Amino acid sequence: MSQSWPALVLRASAVDGSEDLVSAVLTDFNPVAIQDLAERPLPPGGLWDPTYPPIPDPPPTPLHWSVCFSDPGERDRAGRAIALALPLMKIERVDLPDEDWAARSQQSLKAVRAGAFIIAPPWDLPPPAAHGVDATVIVIEPSMGFGTGHHATTRMCLRLLSALDVADATVLDLGTGSGVLSMAAALMGARRVTGVDVDQDAIDSAESSARLNTLPDSITFVVSDFRKAPPAPADIVLANLTGGMLTSSAADIAALVRPHGRLILSGFDHTEVGCVLASFASFPERQRLSEDNWIALELHRRG
Ligand code: SAH
Protein backbone atom coordinates (compact mmCIF):
# COMPACT_ATOMS: atom_id res chain seq x y z
CA MET A 1 0.00 0.00 0.00
CA SER A 2 1.41 3.38 -0.85
CA GLN A 3 -1.09 5.63 0.89
CA SER A 4 0.27 8.65 2.72
CA TRP A 5 -0.95 10.81 5.56
CA PRO A 6 -1.39 14.58 5.24
CA ALA A 7 0.85 15.90 7.99
CA LEU A 8 2.39 19.01 9.50
CA VAL A 9 5.99 19.13 10.64
CA LEU A 10 6.24 21.77 13.37
CA ARG A 11 9.42 23.32 14.70
CA ALA A 12 9.93 25.98 17.33
CA SER A 13 13.48 27.23 17.76
CA ALA A 14 13.04 28.61 21.29
CA VAL A 15 11.54 27.31 24.48
CA ASP A 16 8.47 29.47 24.87
CA GLY A 17 5.66 27.27 26.10
CA SER A 18 4.75 26.49 22.51
CA GLU A 19 4.09 22.81 23.28
CA ASP A 20 1.11 23.70 25.44
CA LEU A 21 -0.19 26.20 22.94
CA VAL A 22 0.11 23.80 19.99
CA SER A 23 -1.59 21.06 22.02
CA ALA A 24 -4.40 23.47 22.89
CA VAL A 25 -4.88 24.47 19.24
CA LEU A 26 -4.81 20.82 18.11
CA THR A 27 -7.70 19.90 20.39
CA ASP A 28 -9.98 21.73 17.91
CA PHE A 29 -8.86 19.32 15.19
CA ASN A 30 -8.59 15.55 15.08
CA PRO A 31 -4.98 14.59 14.51
CA VAL A 32 -4.64 10.82 14.07
CA ALA A 33 -1.08 10.72 15.40
CA ILE A 34 1.48 13.05 16.93
CA GLN A 35 5.13 12.08 16.95
CA ASP A 36 7.77 13.94 18.96
CA LEU A 37 10.90 14.14 16.78
CA ALA A 38 12.94 16.23 19.24
CA GLU A 39 16.23 14.69 20.26
CA ARG A 40 16.80 14.05 23.93
CA PRO A 41 20.33 13.87 25.32
CA LEU A 42 21.67 10.40 26.22
CA PRO A 43 23.13 9.98 29.71
CA PRO A 44 26.85 9.17 30.11
CA GLY A 45 27.43 5.53 29.18
CA GLY A 46 24.69 5.75 26.59
CA LEU A 47 22.10 3.66 28.42
CA TRP A 48 18.77 5.23 27.72
CA ASP A 49 16.99 6.00 30.92
CA PRO A 50 13.78 8.05 30.93
CA THR A 51 14.64 9.50 34.31
CA TYR A 52 18.22 10.61 33.60
CA PRO A 53 18.88 13.38 33.21
CA PRO A 54 15.59 14.46 34.75
CA ILE A 55 13.72 16.16 31.92
CA PRO A 56 13.17 19.74 33.09
CA ASP A 57 9.80 21.31 32.67
CA PRO A 58 9.68 22.93 30.13
CA PRO A 59 12.00 20.52 28.26
CA PRO A 60 15.33 21.92 27.05
CA THR A 61 14.86 20.85 23.44
CA PRO A 62 12.82 23.03 21.12
CA LEU A 63 9.55 21.58 19.87
CA HIS A 64 9.84 19.32 16.82
CA TRP A 65 6.67 17.38 16.08
CA SER A 66 5.05 15.65 13.17
CA VAL A 67 1.27 15.63 13.30
CA CYS A 68 -0.80 13.43 10.96
CA PHE A 69 -4.40 14.18 9.95
CA SER A 70 -7.02 12.07 8.25
CA ASP A 71 -7.58 14.57 5.44
CA PRO A 72 -5.61 17.40 3.83
CA GLY A 73 -8.37 19.99 4.48
CA GLU A 74 -8.17 19.46 8.21
CA ARG A 75 -4.37 19.48 8.07
CA ASP A 76 -4.46 22.86 6.30
CA ARG A 77 -7.01 24.34 8.74
CA ALA A 78 -4.91 23.15 11.69
CA GLY A 79 -1.80 24.64 10.04
CA ARG A 80 -3.51 28.04 9.68
CA ALA A 81 -4.74 27.97 13.28
CA ILE A 82 -1.25 27.15 14.58
CA ALA A 83 0.31 29.89 12.41
CA LEU A 84 -2.15 32.41 13.89
CA ALA A 85 -1.49 31.33 17.46
CA LEU A 86 2.29 30.98 17.07
CA PRO A 87 3.64 33.27 14.32
CA LEU A 88 7.26 32.13 14.93
CA MET A 89 6.53 28.42 14.52
CA LYS A 90 8.02 26.83 11.38
CA ILE A 91 5.23 24.85 9.76
CA GLU A 92 5.81 22.49 6.87
CA ARG A 93 3.07 20.60 5.04
CA VAL A 94 4.20 17.10 4.08
CA ASP A 95 2.72 13.77 3.04
CA LEU A 96 4.10 11.00 5.26
CA PRO A 97 4.24 7.49 3.82
CA ASP A 98 1.86 5.31 5.80
CA GLU A 99 3.98 2.16 6.31
CA ASP A 100 5.10 3.03 9.83
CA TRP A 101 1.84 4.55 10.95
CA ALA A 102 -0.17 1.59 9.70
CA ALA A 103 2.13 -0.84 11.48
CA ARG A 104 1.81 1.14 14.70
CA SER A 105 -1.86 1.86 14.34
CA GLN A 106 -3.62 0.42 17.32
CA GLN A 107 -6.51 -0.95 15.32
CA SER A 108 -4.08 -3.27 13.56
CA LEU A 109 -3.06 -4.88 16.87
CA LYS A 110 -4.10 -8.51 17.15
CA ALA A 111 -4.21 -10.92 20.07
CA VAL A 112 -0.83 -12.48 20.94
CA ARG A 113 0.13 -15.56 22.91
CA ALA A 114 2.78 -15.29 25.67
CA GLY A 115 3.40 -18.07 28.17
CA ALA A 116 0.10 -19.19 29.67
CA PHE A 117 -1.67 -16.07 28.41
CA ILE A 118 -3.32 -14.60 25.35
CA ILE A 119 -3.17 -10.80 25.44
CA ALA A 120 -6.03 -9.47 23.36
CA PRO A 121 -7.29 -6.00 22.43
CA PRO A 122 -11.09 -5.71 22.87
CA TRP A 123 -11.58 -5.95 19.07
CA ASP A 124 -9.73 -9.24 18.67
CA LEU A 125 -11.01 -11.49 21.47
CA PRO A 126 -10.19 -15.09 20.57
CA PRO A 127 -13.17 -17.48 20.53
CA PRO A 128 -13.10 -19.71 23.66
CA ALA A 129 -12.24 -22.79 21.57
CA ALA A 130 -9.01 -21.12 20.42
CA HIS A 131 -7.68 -20.59 23.95
CA GLY A 132 -6.43 -24.10 24.44
CA VAL A 133 -6.83 -25.66 27.85
CA ASP A 134 -3.89 -23.83 29.35
CA ALA A 135 -4.40 -20.28 28.02
CA THR A 136 -5.96 -17.44 29.98
CA VAL A 137 -7.12 -14.35 28.08
CA ILE A 138 -6.15 -10.89 29.37
CA VAL A 139 -7.96 -8.03 27.64
CA ILE A 140 -5.84 -4.90 27.30
CA GLU A 141 -7.17 -1.68 25.81
CA PRO A 142 -4.15 -0.28 23.97
CA SER A 143 -3.76 3.30 25.14
CA MET A 144 -1.27 5.27 27.22
CA GLY A 145 0.19 2.31 29.13
CA PHE A 146 3.06 0.33 27.63
CA GLY A 147 2.33 -3.38 27.60
CA THR A 148 -0.08 -4.57 24.92
CA GLY A 149 1.86 -7.82 24.56
CA HIS A 150 3.32 -6.61 21.28
CA HIS A 151 6.73 -5.93 22.75
CA ALA A 152 9.12 -8.84 23.19
CA THR A 153 10.01 -7.75 26.74
CA THR A 154 6.39 -7.96 27.93
CA ARG A 155 5.96 -11.38 26.33
CA MET A 156 9.18 -12.73 27.87
CA CYS A 157 8.17 -11.48 31.35
CA LEU A 158 4.85 -13.30 30.90
CA ARG A 159 6.65 -16.48 29.83
CA LEU A 160 8.95 -16.38 32.87
CA LEU A 161 6.06 -15.56 35.20
CA SER A 162 3.96 -18.40 33.74
CA ALA A 163 6.60 -20.92 34.80
CA LEU A 164 6.69 -19.72 38.44
CA ASP A 165 4.62 -20.94 41.33
CA VAL A 166 2.64 -17.74 41.87
CA ALA A 167 -0.24 -19.17 43.92
CA ASP A 168 -0.29 -17.49 47.33
CA ALA A 169 2.81 -15.42 46.57
CA THR A 170 2.96 -11.64 46.96
CA VAL A 171 3.87 -9.86 43.72
CA LEU A 172 5.21 -6.40 42.93
CA ASP A 173 5.12 -5.07 39.36
CA LEU A 174 7.49 -2.09 39.15
CA GLY A 175 6.50 0.05 36.17
CA THR A 176 3.18 -1.69 35.52
CA GLY A 177 2.29 0.32 32.37
CA SER A 178 -0.90 -1.27 31.00
CA GLY A 179 -1.04 -3.49 34.11
CA VAL A 180 -0.66 -6.64 32.03
CA LEU A 181 1.92 -8.40 34.24
CA SER A 182 -0.03 -7.59 37.41
CA MET A 183 -3.21 -8.97 35.90
CA ALA A 184 -1.40 -12.15 34.86
CA ALA A 185 -0.06 -12.63 38.41
CA ALA A 186 -3.51 -12.02 39.93
CA LEU A 187 -5.06 -14.57 37.54
CA MET A 188 -2.38 -17.08 38.58
CA GLY A 189 -3.64 -16.87 42.14
CA ALA A 190 -1.20 -14.48 43.77
CA ARG A 191 -2.19 -13.52 47.30
CA ARG A 192 -1.52 -9.82 46.74
CA VAL A 193 -0.40 -7.97 43.60
CA THR A 194 0.69 -4.35 43.55
CA GLY A 195 1.27 -2.65 40.19
CA VAL A 196 3.22 0.59 40.61
CA ASP A 197 3.77 3.25 37.97
CA VAL A 198 5.07 6.78 38.18
CA ASP A 199 2.79 7.79 35.30
CA GLN A 200 -0.83 8.59 36.19
CA ASP A 201 -1.92 7.90 32.57
CA ALA A 202 -0.46 4.39 32.81
CA ILE A 203 -2.33 3.70 36.06
CA ASP A 204 -5.57 5.06 34.55
CA SER A 205 -5.15 2.75 31.56
CA ALA A 206 -4.26 -0.21 33.82
CA GLU A 207 -7.41 0.41 35.87
CA SER A 208 -9.62 0.67 32.81
CA SER A 209 -8.15 -2.52 31.31
CA ALA A 210 -8.58 -4.26 34.68
CA ARG A 211 -12.32 -3.52 34.42
CA LEU A 212 -12.42 -5.43 31.11
CA ASN A 213 -11.22 -8.58 32.89
CA THR A 214 -12.64 -10.67 35.70
CA LEU A 215 -9.91 -10.29 38.27
CA PRO A 216 -9.63 -11.34 41.90
CA ASP A 217 -9.57 -8.41 44.32
CA SER A 218 -5.95 -9.18 45.26
CA ILE A 219 -4.79 -6.59 42.67
CA THR A 220 -4.07 -2.91 43.38
CA PHE A 221 -2.57 -0.22 41.16
CA VAL A 222 -0.68 2.69 42.70
CA VAL A 223 0.77 5.89 41.21
CA SER A 224 4.23 6.13 42.70
CA ASP A 225 7.96 6.16 42.04
CA PHE A 226 9.16 2.95 43.67
CA ARG A 227 12.54 4.58 44.42
CA LYS A 228 11.00 7.43 46.40
CA ALA A 229 8.15 5.53 48.07
CA PRO A 230 9.25 1.88 48.31
CA PRO A 231 6.31 -0.54 48.46
CA ALA A 232 6.33 -3.57 50.80
CA PRO A 233 8.80 -6.29 49.70
CA ALA A 234 7.29 -9.24 47.81
CA ASP A 235 8.03 -12.85 46.90
CA ILE A 236 8.04 -12.10 43.16
CA VAL A 237 9.19 -8.75 41.79
CA LEU A 238 8.71 -7.88 38.10
CA ALA A 239 10.62 -4.96 36.61
CA ASN A 240 10.37 -4.42 32.85
CA LEU A 241 12.10 -1.02 32.81
CA THR A 242 15.28 -0.01 30.98
CA GLY A 243 18.90 -1.13 31.33
CA GLY A 244 19.83 2.29 32.69
CA MET A 245 17.06 2.37 35.24
CA LEU A 246 17.69 -1.21 36.40
CA THR A 247 21.38 -0.56 36.98
CA SER A 248 20.92 2.82 38.64
CA SER A 249 18.07 1.54 40.86
CA ALA A 250 19.43 -1.96 41.54
CA ALA A 251 19.77 -1.43 45.29
CA ASP A 252 16.19 -0.12 45.56
CA ILE A 253 14.84 -3.04 43.52
CA ALA A 254 16.91 -5.70 45.33
CA ALA A 255 15.57 -4.49 48.68
CA LEU A 256 12.02 -5.20 47.48
CA VAL A 257 12.64 -8.93 46.91
CA ARG A 258 11.96 -11.13 49.94
CA PRO A 259 14.46 -13.86 50.90
CA HIS A 260 14.12 -16.86 48.51
CA GLY A 261 12.09 -14.59 46.21
CA ARG A 262 12.31 -14.23 42.44
CA LEU A 263 13.13 -11.19 40.37
CA ILE A 264 12.10 -10.98 36.71
CA LEU A 265 13.91 -8.23 34.82
CA SER A 266 13.59 -7.03 31.23
CA GLY A 267 13.77 -3.91 29.07
CA PHE A 268 17.44 -4.24 28.04
CA ASP A 269 19.37 -5.82 25.21
CA HIS A 270 22.49 -7.97 24.71
CA THR A 271 24.83 -5.01 25.08
CA GLU A 272 23.35 -4.13 28.50
CA VAL A 273 22.82 -7.55 30.10
CA GLY A 274 26.35 -7.63 31.57
CA CYS A 275 25.79 -4.31 33.39
CA VAL A 276 22.39 -5.43 34.64
CA LEU A 277 23.71 -8.75 35.97
CA ALA A 278 26.67 -7.03 37.62
CA SER A 279 24.26 -4.70 39.44
CA PHE A 280 22.40 -7.70 40.88
CA ALA A 281 25.57 -9.71 41.57
CA SER A 282 24.20 -11.34 44.72
CA PHE A 283 21.17 -12.73 42.82
CA PRO A 284 22.01 -15.98 40.97
CA GLU A 285 20.60 -16.24 37.44
CA ARG A 286 17.88 -18.88 37.01
CA GLN A 287 16.64 -18.31 33.46
CA ARG A 288 17.41 -16.16 30.49
CA LEU A 289 15.17 -15.53 27.49
CA SER A 290 15.99 -13.56 24.37
CA GLU A 291 13.77 -12.28 21.57
CA ASP A 292 14.37 -9.59 18.92
CA ASN A 293 17.69 -8.79 20.64
CA TRP A 294 15.85 -8.07 23.92
CA ILE A 295 16.66 -10.05 27.08
CA ALA A 296 14.63 -11.12 30.09
CA LEU A 297 16.19 -12.61 33.22
CA GLU A 298 14.83 -14.53 36.13
CA LEU A 299 17.05 -14.07 39.18
CA HIS A 300 16.80 -15.66 42.58
CA ARG A 301 17.33 -14.09 45.96
CA ARG A 302 19.14 -16.32 48.40
CA GLY A 303 17.61 -16.85 51.82
N1 SAH B 1 5.15 -3.76 32.91
C2 SAH B 1 4.71 -3.39 31.56
C3 SAH B 1 5.15 -1.98 31.17
C4 SAH B 1 6.64 -1.73 31.13
S5 SAH B 1 7.04 -0.08 30.51
C6 SAH B 1 5.21 -4.42 30.57
O7 SAH B 1 5.98 -5.29 30.95
O8 SAH B 1 4.82 -4.37 29.41
C9 SAH B 1 7.84 0.65 31.93
C10 SAH B 1 6.91 1.44 32.82
O11 SAH B 1 7.68 1.82 33.94
C12 SAH B 1 6.36 2.71 32.23
O13 SAH B 1 4.95 2.69 32.29
C14 SAH B 1 6.95 3.83 33.12
O15 SAH B 1 6.02 4.89 33.35
C16 SAH B 1 7.23 3.09 34.41
N17 SAH B 1 8.29 3.65 35.26
C18 SAH B 1 9.49 4.17 34.88
N19 SAH B 1 10.19 4.57 35.96
C20 SAH B 1 9.42 4.31 37.06
C21 SAH B 1 9.61 4.50 38.48
N22 SAH B 1 10.73 5.03 38.96
N23 SAH B 1 8.61 4.11 39.33
C24 SAH B 1 7.48 3.58 38.84
N25 SAH B 1 7.25 3.37 37.49
C26 SAH B 1 8.21 3.72 36.63
Would you say the CB of residue 196 lies under 6 angstroms from ligand 1?
yes
Residue with the nearest Cα to atom 10 of ligand 1? 175
Instruction: Give 279-303 as a DSSP string.
Output: HTTTS-EEEEEEETTEEEEEEE---
Residue 241 Cβ < 6 Å to ligand 1: yes
Residue 151 alpha carbon, nearest atom of ligand 1: 8
The pLDDT of residue 103: 47
Return the higher-pLDDT residue of 118 and 148: 118
Average pLDDT across the chain, whole number: 86
CA–centroid distance, 283 to ligand 1, in Å, is: 22
Which ligand 1 atom lies nearest to the CA of residue 238? 1
> What does the pLDDT look like over 141-187, one tens digit per residue?
877 667 788 789 999 999 999 999 999 999 999 999 999 999 999 99
pLDDT at residue 202 greater than cutoff 50? yes
Confidence of residue 102 (pLDDT cuts 50, 70, 90): very low
Residue 161 has a CB neighbour count (10 Å cut-off) of: 26
Res. 290: pLDDT tops 60: yes
pLDDT of residue 1: 40
The yes-or-no verdict on residue 114 having pLDDT over 70 is: yes
Assess whether pLDDT exceeds 60 at residue 42: no
Query: What value does the mean pLDDT take over residues 294-301?
Result: 97
pTM strictly above 0.85: no
Sequence-separated (6 or more) residues with CB below 8 Å from residue 61 = 38, 39, 40
Q: How far, in Å, from the CA of 103 to the mean position of ligand 1?
A: 23
Question: What is the pLDDT at residue 16?
Answer: 62
Predicted pLDDT of residue 132: 59
| Confidence check: pLDDT of 5 > 90 | no
In ligand 1, which atom is closest to the CA atom of 226? 23
Distance CA 158, CA 176 (A): 13
Task: Give yes or no for residue 240 CB within 6 A of ligand 1.
Answer: yes
